[in-house]
Structure 1
Amino acid sequence: MDLPGHLGSMPMHAITEIHGESGLLERFRLEIERFDPPARRRLTAALELAAALHRDDRRVREPYLNHLLRVAIRMMHHYQVRDVDVIVAGLLHDTVEDHPAELAGDLPAGADLRRAALAALADRFGARVARLVAAVTNPEYDPDRDRNTQYREHVAANLEREPWARVIKVSDFTDNGVGIIHTVGPKVLSSAVKYRPLVPVLRDLVARADTPLAEPVKQHIYDQLDLAEERFSAILDAPSDN
């Protein structure tokens, strides 16, 4: 497939709509050209693992890998992240939650599947990558409590102690929140309900002095959080037809 020379400057959802997964893969390759060969090999290995684990997963209208690519590209391009561990963790941030058995391999009965999956990630990409993935992996929820409340509590607690995990979560949230206009069906409402209360939590975490992002990048993120809030409000606060 021939891709345009200006692919490197196109908005990611525009790339997704026009060129699909192949366009995002090419954009990813353009971004990692800025890294040295060992870093490129690690990033490519993480992408290959994410693609294999999520090969049958879908995200509403698209392959799930598209979401992971956008999370990683956003960190490299918009957030100016050059920390390879963080980008690797961004590509793999849903693997332990969604595919722990495939990561962990054969285990004895009664083994902790998520712990084994994180150990497998640590063996392959290092303990820091596994720790970052753990920080953004949703917990097993208490069925007697509201899931969205537990999700918000989990995000606030885990990101409190992992500044780089905040960067991954903000990119993930932006793809889900600002990108809600690309969602269809019942997920539109459920996503708005889930994510709107997270906006002030993330805004506070990004503003902290130990969040390792430049001030212009933080301002860009604040603008994206504002845009997400506007989109959630348009969905949740729209006048009822009744």
Structure 2
Amino acid sequence: MTAPTATRPAPTRSLRDADDAFLSFFIIRTHRELVGDNGGTLLLTHAIEDAVEAHREQHRTDHRGVRQPYVLHPLRNTCRLLMFGVTDLDLLVASLFHDTVEDVPEALVAALTGRYELSPVDALRAEYSDLVADTVARVTNPAEHARLPRVARNDAYITHIIAEVLTDIRALLVKVADFLDNAGGLRLLMATNLPMAKRLAAKYQPMVSLLDDALQNPAVTEFTPHASLIRDEVRAVGADLDYILAA
């Protein structure tokens, strides 16, 4: 895997089989190559350590049925953003923590401050920045959505994205990286669990046009020179989702 260049980012699909050590190394090395030694690499290293600690007890099963550390997912997302030339520290740190408030709120507070009088979002605000906290809050699904039936939950997910994510460029790019990792792996899942692949494809398919349109916002170019290539990846995953739903 090579570092991105100004004209051509490294291919993102090569991340799928990387372990947490390599992903962490790639994040630090690539960030340093893009911005230099004084560009906040120490802060990014600290955020990786905190994200690993927050997700330490969390795992999920991959398409092969292998139990994997969940933290691989946010690490891959952050690698993708760097591959597309994103160097904004608040955005990268938010990507590392994007699932923590929703999935491991108490572990997040313990990893960051240990001050349990703080909410998870406020712990992020205290340890990192308002922008990190606000971006993570935007991409966090409201807790009440988990109690809805599947179809209503999927509708609420899209409604939340439209209202909270598409209106903020940092949140948009965090969600795009999340989409590419989650939805981009469903073709692999087809071979072992087609019903689950179809259920997840139905959840993610409405996002394709929303993300594609949002990435045309000129403000995206303030964070990455590769907006058109990111759109290509989103549309490629969309074609995969169409294939899965038709299977």
TM-score band w.r.t. shorter chain: 0.7 to 0.9
Does the residue aligned with 1:59 lie in a helix, a strand or coil?
A: strand
1:22 counterpart residue number: 21
For 1:185-204, what aligned pairs fall within 5 Å after superposition?
185=193, 186-204=195-213
The C-alpha deviation readout for 1:82-140, integer Å capped at 9, x for no partner, is 111100000111110111122345657xxxxxx71100000000111100101111112
- 1:211 CA drift (Å): 2.8
1:152 counterpart residue number: 158
Structure 1, unmatched stretches of 5+, are 1-5, 109-114
Confirm or deny that 1:135 pairs with 2:142.
no
The two structures, once aligned, show a CA RMSD in angstroms of: 2.4
Change (3 A) 1:27 1:12: farther
Distance 2:172 2:72 in 1: 21
Equivalent residue letter for 2:137 = A
Confirm or deny that 1:221 pairs with 2:226.
no
- 1:229 CA drift (Å): 1.3
Distance 1:158 1:226 in 2: 22
Distance 2:161 2:97 in 1: 17
For 1:24-173, what aligned pairs fall within 5 Å after superposition?
24-34=23-33, 35=35, 36-37=37-38, 39-61=40-62, 62-78=68-84, 80-104=85-109, 105=114, 107=116, 116-140=119-143, 141=145, 143=148, 146-173=152-179
Change (3 A) 1:70 1:236: same
Distance 1:84 1:216 in 2: 16
- TM-score (norm: length of structure 2): 0.81
Question: Percent identity among equivalent residues?
Answer: 31
Q: Is the 8 A contact 2:15 2:76 kept in 1?
A: no
Equivalent residue letter for 1:181 = R
**Larger RCO (CA under 8 A, 6+ residues apart):** 2
Match of 1:206 among 192, 202, 215: 215
Distance 1:214 1:101 in 2: 31
Equivalent residue letter for 2:123 = A
Structure 2, unmatched stretches of 5+, are 5-9, 63-67
Q: Is the 8 A contact 1:94 1:137 kept in 2?
A: yes
Comparing 19-28 with 146-155, greater Cα deviation is found at 19-28
- TM-score (norm: length of structure 1): 0.83
Change (3 A) 1:57 1:164: same
Change (3 A) 1:31 1:198: same
Q: How many residues align?
A: 225
